[in-house]
Every structure is written in structure tokens, then in C-alpha cells.
Amino acid sequence: MTLIVQKYGGTSVANAERIKNVARRIARTRDQGNQVVVVASAMGDTTDELLQLAYQLSEKPDSRELDVLLSTGEVVTSTLLAMALHSMGYPAISLSGAQAGIRTDSVYSRARILQIEPRRVVRELDKGNIVIVAGFQGITEDLDITTLGRGGSDTTAVALAASLGAEVCQIYTDVEGVYSADPRLVPEAQCLGEIHYEEMLELATYGARVLHPRAVELGELFHIPILVASSFTENPGTLIHGGVSMEVRNKVRSIAYDLNVGKITVVGVPDRPGIAAAIFSPLAKAGINVDTIVQNASIQGITDLTFTVVKSDLARAIEVVKPLAAQIGARECASDEKLGAVSIIGTGMQNTPGFAARMFSTLSEKNINIQLITTSEIRITCIINAAEVQEAVRALHRAFEIEEE
Amino acid sequence: MTLIVQKYGGTSVANAERIKNVARRIARTRDQGNQVVVVASAMGDTTDELLQLAYQLSEKPDSRELDVLLSTGEVVTSTLLAMALHSMGYPAISLSGAQAGIRTDSVYSRARILQIEPRRVVRELDKGNIVIVAGFQGITEDLDITTLGRGGSDTTAVALAASLGAEVCQIYTDVEGVYSADPRLVPEAQCLGEIHYEEMLELATYGARVLHPRAVELGELFHIPILVASSFTENPGTLIHGGVSMEVRNKVRSIAYDLNVGKITVVGVPDRPGIAAAIFSPLAKAGINVDTIVQNASIQGITDLTFTVVKSDLARAIEVVKPLAAQIGARECASDEKLGAVSIIGTGMQNTPGFAARMFSTLSEKNINIQLITTSEIRITCIINAAEVQEAVRALHRAFEIEEE
């Protein structure tokens, strides 16, 4: 029998009716002759409501207690899903993350899965049960409950699929799949039939919120195909896997964007060793993630150092950098918070020239000024004015003829 | 250092403000130099809301799943209490029933505690923590979550107090303590300063809803004094213990009542062995609890058999008994659902004559007809018309001069 792991997101289980709908989908998968393991998210806004309660009681809630509190949301959904399946005549059992053997480190609120001991899951599958596992949570060696942080339930699902040797991990959500661009910006954007792990990783990091990069990484590492699809429709969704056909690969697959980019430029820096470390070590210590770093060519031993951060970190980053800039003898420290990023992504890019040139000329034709450029093997990102991001995404989607796929 | 176990009921922790209030009370107990273990109930109506969700998904929710679902309510409160204590600067940690080592049998929804392995609780106390344990729940040998049924959190608290050797188990609720009669019926009713376990047991069984009999039994068995008091006031409450002074004991302590009594009389039963078994075994199999059984003296080999059940069970009981009555050759099967019970309770009664006589004459003076009488060593109960219960309680309260204590 084929084993399938399915994960249902918070909006898919937001109320009793939707939970029944999800139960019917699970039952159908079972009727098709599969063993089914389901990973459940917390219902709708449950997690936010619990967080709100916590912050009413403490300005800075203890992270161990917060994890125990938040973990209850997924437990509630998994028992309700099991009950719904029972009432349809299907054998089912809910397991907490702990019972499902999801062992993590003890970094509360963003724990990492160390290991899965799926004995109980396997035993219940062998008994003929549909097994519903509470997502987003695990347990430490000391039997304390942890949560996995952003994208936690996706990670639970893919990790379970890997440890159980599942055929596929299906992530059901409120969107149809992975699009060639955000359909709100580009009406002609298409839902992709398939996409390579690497492309999805770049997409997840550079704009698309469909699936967390952690889950994609795990899928690639353990060769688990991941289907992203809607729990509200019968559309086929997007399959993320490593075997995407050559023809499809030789293309730009998707345009990603991000409107939350802040930029800091340290102007007139003496170009000598150790300067970068003097700036970026204190930022790292302050817990500020730096995305893109560009250093201009040095002219007469003086250079400019520019980097970007998430807009919400910009104010804190400036506080850290200003005194450092003075110390190292820089002329000034400028910042801009009205920036965005636009990226073209596709594994086809890595062996084919001309993508960058076409991207830059497309933006140039629209009179869009490029402030910074960064690239990976399968991605080119331009930092531009936030106000021009929408126009840039549309123009690039047309220029690379993604809609004709 | 003295160890105190405190339990706070659902209304005492119904919202963030009340949880803060409870945290202040816990902190004060700690400041007085005590080690503190707290048992938390689910917030306000949480349990009912979860039940409602469950019944939206299944007409007959699976009891294992229901227990997991309901157990989350107490977990939520215990984390919030820990957070509130942290924000006041007190070290605290929440533990689930499982983490607190509360081992139960696997009778879901009304599990019994088999054993408590309080290693983790002791370890956290030794570290200086206030330990908050989620009430109402335990774990089976197979690591499945169970709930303890009605009065569950009270039972958790007294059992923990016993296994930890606590000085006292304090049950905080929304009433001031145990009264000499229901203050809604008898305005001059008094909150008792102390009461014997046995009296409290009779009271809990025959009307007062303050504390579940299971918790009282455990307290008596392990000699744990139990204080019942309000979490909203500073009044001293009622201490339930075994050392109630002689003078206080030689009295009727409290008048209990119950308005939910249904009566069935099987009229004209041939008086031969096996008749009672023929009626009561099928009732037991149907899960119907029979409270009082009275068989009249036999006249010419024909007798009447009368018994009472909780009013909500009356219709089902009649369904069971009617065909049986026909089978055993009884003349008819009559029922009455407009009945109530009134009881006088006090350990002083067991060695002193005259209590029964005074009870009967008091009721007689009020023209109240007694339909059935049952007694224990420390209790006399009369079944009367429900409409006359209030008057009976008031008259008895006066007759036994309880207000002059």
C-alpha cells in the first residue's frame, strides 16, 4: 500500500464545516487504497488568540511556557479531525507531536527536529488507522514541549514523510499552488504544474509565502516530492520535486518580489581589512539578518558599503551602525526604507547566458532604476523603488513569456 | 519549608484579569515561606466550548479523542498562570498531567488515578519553582491522555497533596466555603469553619456541589486537610479534616437538598427471592444509578418495591422496569418525577438518639409528607415533594439551631 502524508493549513480547518470537508478529502485518499498520515494545523486564528492571551499576562512570555500554550492549538484540531473521520466510519487516531516521536532540540519557539521515532505512528498505521499528527510541535529529551517556529507544520509533514518513506507529502492550503508570479499583481500569472526544489527554495526565500524554505530543504534532502494544492478545490496544484523535465527547466519559472526591503549605505569608508567585520559582527549579535551586501569599487582607498535588511529591522540596524560608522571614519550613514526586491527564478538560468541582460533591459525600458543586484545560480534579484515593484513584476512576467508555458 | 497544594477552579481563572489575581494569591503564599504546587482548571467555559465543537463533528465523539481535546483546556491555563507569575518576578513552571507523573487507568472520560510519580514536580520544587500542574488529566501506561471526569481537578489536587506529603490542600472556588445550608434557600445559613471528612462526603453526595466526593475520600484516606475557600475574597473558608472538635461534632452540621429525584414503585410484587435482582441487575446494565431502595413489609406474600433515580434517568428507568414488572407478575409500575430530597448531616448523630424524631416532627409540623426515608450513620434523608423542599430546608435549619453555632 502507498503511504501518503497530507498537511492541512489553518484556514482549511478554521471551523467545524471545513474540518468535515478536510475529513472527506482524507477519507477519499484512504478509499483510493492509501495509508494516510495527516498533519493538522491550529484552527484559523487560534494561535494568534493564544498569543494575545499570553501577552495580556506577560510583556515577555517565557518561551517554554509559550510553546506549551501554542502547541495546544494543533492538538485540538487533530482530535476534531479524528472525530470527524470516526463519524464517517473511518478508523483514525490523533497523536501529539510527542506521541508521534518528533524529537527536537530545546530551542523553544524555533526548535529544530533532531530525529523522528515513528514507532507509534507505524503501529497505528498497521492497525489500519488513519493517523492524525498535531503539527508545529515536538518534544525534547527532557519531555518538554517545543514548537518549530514559522513553517512548523509544513516541516512536521515533510519530516514525517521522510521518516516513514512516504510516496509524497501533500501540503493543502488556501491557494491553488505555486504561481509564476503573485496573481494579485499579475492577473495572467499561472499556477505551475511542477517546480524544482531549488527553484522553490529561492521562491520561498524571495517572496512566495506558500511553503517555508525549511520544508523545501527537507524535501530535497530526503527526495520527498511535495505537492502544494488547495483544500477548497479539485485543481491539481504544484508538485515540487527533483525530476522536473529538461524543457521546463530551461526557462525562467517564476517572478518573486518583496516589498519589505530597507537599505543602509555607509558612505566614504576607508578601504582596509576588517571594516566589513566591524560592521556586520555587531549586527549579527543584535540578531539582525543582513540580506544583500554590496561594496563599491574602491576609489583612492575610499569605498561605499551598502546592505539591505528587512524593513522592520531598519531602525534597529541604523542604531547599531551609526556609532560604528563614526568609529571607522566613514563620512556618513544613509538609509532608505522605500525599497523592494524583484527576482527572476529558474534552474534553466544556471547554464544559459542572457537572462540577466534581458532582465536589466526590461527594467530599463520601463525607466526603473536598479539600486542593487544580487544573484544565485538560479536567481537574479534587483533592488528597486518599492513603488515600481508591481510594474517590474508585470513587465518581467511578459518579457520572459512565462504565461505561454 | 511547608508545602501547600492550591487548586483554582474555572471561574477563578476565567480571564486574564482573574488569572493575574490568582497569580498574586499564589505569590503571597510563596512569600509566606511556603513551597507551592498549583493545580489549574480550564478557563471559564472552555471545556463546554470544546465539547460543543466535538459534538458538531460527531454525534458520539470517541472518548479517547475527547479526552485529549478536553485536556488542552487545563494546559492553557497552567501556562498562562506560569507566565503571570514570571512577569511578577516569581520562578514558575507549568507541567501537564503526564509530566507531573499522574498515571491513570485507561477508562477514558472518567479515569482513576493509579499512582503519582512526582519526580519531576519534586525536581522543579527543589530548583525553587512554583509548580503549576494541569488538572483533570493523567496518562496511561501507553502514554495516552485521559481525563478524570467530574471533580477531576479537585481529585488531582488532593492526590498530588497526598503523594507530595503536603501540609494542606487548598481548593479555591467562587463560593466562600461549605455552608450549613444553601444560602440561596436559607439566608441565615452560615459558612462552616470546619467539617469532618465524613460529613463532607455525605454533603457532597447529597446536594452540596462545592467539592467532589472523590476528592474528599482521597483526603480522608491520606489524612490531607482540605480547605475550601473563595479566590475572590479574603474570608477563611471551610477546613475539611478528621480532627473536628468534640463539641462541634455533637451536632447537625448542615442541611443538604436535591431537587432532581425521580421515584418508581413496582406495586404488588410477589415476595420471593430473586425479585430484587431481576429488577436491579438490568438497571445497572443500562448504566442507571439507583439511589434509595425501600421494600415495604410483605402482606400475604405481596409487597411494593420503591426506588429513586436521578430525574434525568427516570424515563429510561421506566422503559427498563415496565416489561420486567410484567414478567415477575407485579400489578403495576408507578412513577413520580416531582420529588426532592432533604438531608440532615452531622457526625454527632451517630451516637446520639433523637435526631430522626426531631427531623420527622419538624416536617410534620409543616404538613410535609415523607414518602421515603434513608439513613447512614451520620445522615438522615427524607424524600418529599419537590415543591416543599425549600420550606423543609428552612424549617430544619431552624429546628437544629445551626445558625447559632
* pLDDT tens digits, one per residue of B262-283: 999 999 888 887 888 888 889 9
pLDDT at residue A84 greater than cutoff 70 = yes
User: What's the whole-number mean pLDDT along residues A61-75?
Assistant: 96
Give the residue-averaged pLDDT of B357-373. 91
Q: What is the mean pLDDT of residues B357-366?
A: 91
Q: Closest residue of B to A58, CA-based?
A: B87
Lowest-confidence region among A166-175, A308-317, B48-57: A308-317
Contact B53 A80 (CB under 8 A): yes
A243's CB contacts (< 8 A; 6+ apart) are none
Query: What ipTM did this prediction achieve?
Result: 0.81
pTM assigned to the model: 0.84
Predicted local distance difference test score (pLDDT) of residue B275: 81
Kindly indicate the confidence band of residue B405, based on its pLDDT and cuts at 50, 70 and 90: very low
- Least confident range from A314-323, B152-161, B217-226, B287-296: namely B287-296
Contact indicator for B12, B20 with CB cutoff of 8 Å: no
Residue A322 DSSP one-character state: H
Q: What average pLDDT score do residues B153-173 get? A: 97
Question: Cβ contacts (< 8 Å) between B144 and chain A: which residues?
Answer: 99
Average pLDDT, stretch B167-187? Answer: 92
Return the SS3 of A155. Answer: helix
Cβ contact, residue pair A80, B57, below 8 Å: yes
Residues of chain A contacting residue B53, judged by C-beta atoms under 8 Å apart = 16, 76, 80
* B245: confidence class by pLDDT, cuts 50, 70, 90: low
Please indicate whether, in this complex, the C-beta atoms of B62 and A82 are within 8 angstroms of each other.
yes
Contacting B with CB below 8 Å, chain A residues are 16, 19-20, 23, 50, 53-54, 56-62, 64-66, 68-69, 72, 75-76, 78-80, 82-84, 86-87, 93-94, 96, 99, 143-144
Contact assignment for A79 to B19 by CB distance below 8 Å: no
Asked if A135 contacts A157 with a C-beta cutoff of 8 angstroms, the reply is yes
At residue A25, does pLDDT exceed 90?
A: yes
How many CB pairs lie under 8 A apart between chains A and B? 102
Distance from C-alpha of B29 to C-alpha of B225, rounded to nearest angstrom:
17
Quote the minimal CA–CA distance from B313 to chain A in Å.
26
**Residue-averaged pLDDT of chain A:** 91
Of B57, B84, B145, the CB nearest to A83: B57
Q: What is the pLDDT of residues A236-246, one digit of tens each?
A: 999 999 987 65
Of A102-111, B200-209, B311-320, which gets the smallest average pLDDT? Answer: B200-209
pLDDT value at residue B249? 53
Mean pLDDT of chain B: 91
Beta strands in B271-377 (DSSP E): 290-295, 302-310, 332-345, 372-376
- Tell me which residue of A65, A68, A63, A53 sits closest to A108, measured CA to CA: A63
pLDDT of residue A405: 45
Best of A64, A68, A88 to disrupt the B interface (most B CBs within 10 Å) is: A68
For B68, the closest chain A residue by CA position comes to A79
Residue of A nearest to B23 (CA): A57
Is the per-residue pLDDT at A6 higher than 90? yes
- B2 near B31, Cβ under 8 Å? no
Contacts of B7 (CB under 8 A, 6+ apart): B38, B39, B40, B41, B135, B153, B154, B156, B157, B169, B170, B171, B172
